Structure 1
Amino acid sequence: MELGKGFAFVARQQHIVTDTSDFYIDLVFYNYFLKCFVLVDLKTHKLTHESIGQMDMYVRIYNDLKKEADDNPTIGIILCTEKDETVVKYSVMSENEKLFASKYRTYLPDEKELKNLIEADRVKFELDNQN
């Protein structure tokens, strides 16, 4: 319910096998409104280029092996404790509109802190879109 409407749980630690390796996707959902799979990777550390590459690979594997012809492209979400904007800027994530990284908190911020975070994101968004 916290993800929003239309999400159906598909798998936890879904095992994906390639010719030479085994991989495990933390969480897999399907969204009936978006008509696509949503893969979630949980990182208990700072975002790295390896994490982005890993999610990019998961999305490509899912699009190749699981996505049906009438499905939209798979979305990949990386939740991490700290997001490095430089890593995001120079990675495949900046070119792929279906990969996202977001900082998560292990606690709910108070109302004042939440307002400050929203305002900071709004200002950053406006500055980014002025260029």
Structure 2
Amino acid sequence: MQMYVYYYERELMNEGDNPPIGIVLCADKSESVVKYTLPENETQIFASKYKLYLPSEEELSQELQREYRALEYDKKNQNNFT
């Protein structure tokens, strides 16, 4: 993910834009995901700065559930054709 954030920052940002952020969407909380997603000594995380521009927790949860169901549906249909 960090590669995409850096690419956007270097190639697509306009002057005056806020720095891009990456969002990791997970179905469940995992300390391991948190540990390895952020730099080891990260001391400045300003998620609240972007809160107004992010979907609500409920909207993110619903989207994850929709995607999960779609993947399960595709998986079942793929097995029917093999």
Structure showing greater relative contact order (alpha-carbon pairs closer than 8 Å, 6 or more residues apart): 2
The TM tier, using the shorter chain, reads 0.3 to 0.5
Which structure features the higher share of strand residues?
A: 1
Tell which structure's C-alpha radius of gyration is larger. Answer: 2
